[in-house]
Each structure stands twice: as C-alpha cells, then as structure tokens.
Amino acid sequence: MPFITTNSVSLSGSSEEVKLFYQDIGRGRPVVFIHGWPLNHEMWEYQVNELPKHNIRVITYDRRGFGKSSRPWEGYDYDTFAQDLKLILEHLNLTNVTLAGFSMGGGEVARYLAKYNTDGRVTKAALISAVTPYLLKTDDNPTGLPQQMFDEIKQQLEEDRPKFLASFAKTFYGVNLFSHPVSEEFLQHNLMRTLNSAGYSTIKAMQAWSATDFRADLDTIKIPLLVLHGKEDQTVPIDASAEETIKRVPHAEYIVYDDAPHGLFYTHRHRFNDEMINFINR
C-alpha cells in the first residue's frame, strides 16, 4: 500500500514519524480530495469510480489519525494538517492541481493556500460543505455555533462513540429529512468507516475544525474557487459557513443545492460529479 512518511513537528513542539496513506487513480488533470470528519479517503468512492473516465487523476488520502494512516497522539491542528497535504503534493510532484476539501477538509484547503501556494502548484480549489470561515460563535463571529454544542459532541464521543457516530450519520445524510434517504446498508458501511480511527484522533480533530478561524486564510485566495453547499445542511449550516465564505472570496463560483444535506457528495453524487468534472477540466 502506498504511504508517505512525515516527521512533522506539532504545535507542542514534539516530532513523530507519521505514515500517511494515499490512493492515486487515473491519468490527466490532478485533483486531490480531502476527506471530512469523521470519515477517511473511502468517502470518495463514487468520485474515484467516475472522474478518471474524464481525463482526471484522482488522489485521495487519509488524514493522520484516520483510516490507514498513523494515529499519533499529537498533531491534530490545521498547521500540521496543511504540512501533511504539502508533503503529499510534493511527493507526487503534482502541478496544476485542484484541491477539493469536504467539510473539515475545507480547512486544509484554506490553510494550505494561505501558507504554501506561493509556487502556484495549486491552480483551482473547491470548498464542499466546508467548515470555513469560522464555525465557533464569538463576539466578532455572531453567525457561528455555540461552544456548548461542541462540548456536547466531545462528551458523547467519550461516552459512546459508536452510538454518537451512528446518530450523527443520519443527520449528515439527511435521513428522515428528504424523500431520498440513503439505505440502511450504506449507513452501516458508513459507520464502519467512521470507526476506523482512534477515539482520541476523532475528538482532537473535532476540536480543531470547530475552533479554527480561517477568515484570514480565505482573504488570501486569488485562484478560481468553487463553493458547494446544501441549503438543508444541518451539520455545517450554510449561514455559518458558505454564506460567510463567499463574502470573503467574492470571485468564487457559488452553487447551492436547495434540497441537499451535508453529505451531498453521496446523496447528490451524479450532479456533484458533473460539477467537479466541469470545474477541473475547464
């Protein structure tokens, strides 16, 4: 299996060898898909199945702490996540890259572009149901979500992670909200994916995406940007995320899926795939 090894230093100053699993499928223009929380690279199954048919090289990987990648105790902050992404792009010698971050993965996109894209390696980016620009409600961010909500998520993860993640998935995919619910088999498969991580990495990653401020990162973005979000997203509400993102990146192409939940990459996969293919191959 393909792995990249990093000796990145976390915010605490500790250094640890971390192996990052990646998958590289197809030939053509490269896109790097960055998975959301609490999933792994396998969430992109229905994109990996389709996009290589359209002259697109699809790279997916497991964030540290998730899937087949190493599960260190530290390093669950966005500066470290962006370092990991940088290493993957350099290891594969990718140029003219499209970065596509879903949910938590949108944070990696924003932080990478702000810190590392001076070489122009990345030429397009997509934020999909993303947590940008800042999810936490503060005095200067009144549209954010209250800290109490994230504290409750942490508590439930510590008490019964499988139970919480099973319930979380139903909201994630809009079960009982729409007339096109996902199958029970899909939900069971999804649960297995979300449990393929360490409990501590799941919690620490949640604390990162819920409290990291990406507003200054977004202000630096000059390349073409696609923002996709479901109007009925109850996991990362559109008013707290995409609506605020486009205020900071007014040149972005903004597409709202009127009846979509958070997990539109699956519930609306055919439309989503078409939009990604068109954006990448433009």
d(CA 2, CA 12): 28
Torsion of CA 156, 66, 81, 13, to 10 degrees: 80
Question: What is 91-102 written as a DSSP string?
Answer: HTT--SEEEEEE
Active-site annotation holder among 77, 84, 217, 233: 233
State the residue for tokens 């393929």: 196
3-state secondary structure of 59: strand
Tell me if residue 103 is catalytic.
Answer: yes
Active-site annotation holder among 35, 41, 229, 262: 262
Active-site annotation holder among 103, 129, 197, 241: 103
d(CA 273, CA 158): 36
Calculate ∠ Cα 5-6-11, nearest 5°.
155
Torsion of CA 175, 181, 186, 192, to 10 degrees: -10
**Is the CB of residue 35 less than 8 Å from the CB of residue 172?**
no
Tell me if residue 91 is catalytic.
Answer: no
Start-to-end CA distance of the chain, whole Å, equals: 32
Tell me if residue 189 is catalytic.
Answer: no
d(CA 13, CA 243): 36
The CB density around residue 86, as the number of other CB atoms within 10 Å, is: 19
CA distances from 142 to 127, 133, 190, 207, 235 (A): 22, 12, 33, 19, 17
d(CA 200, CA 221): 32
Active site residues: 103, 233, 262
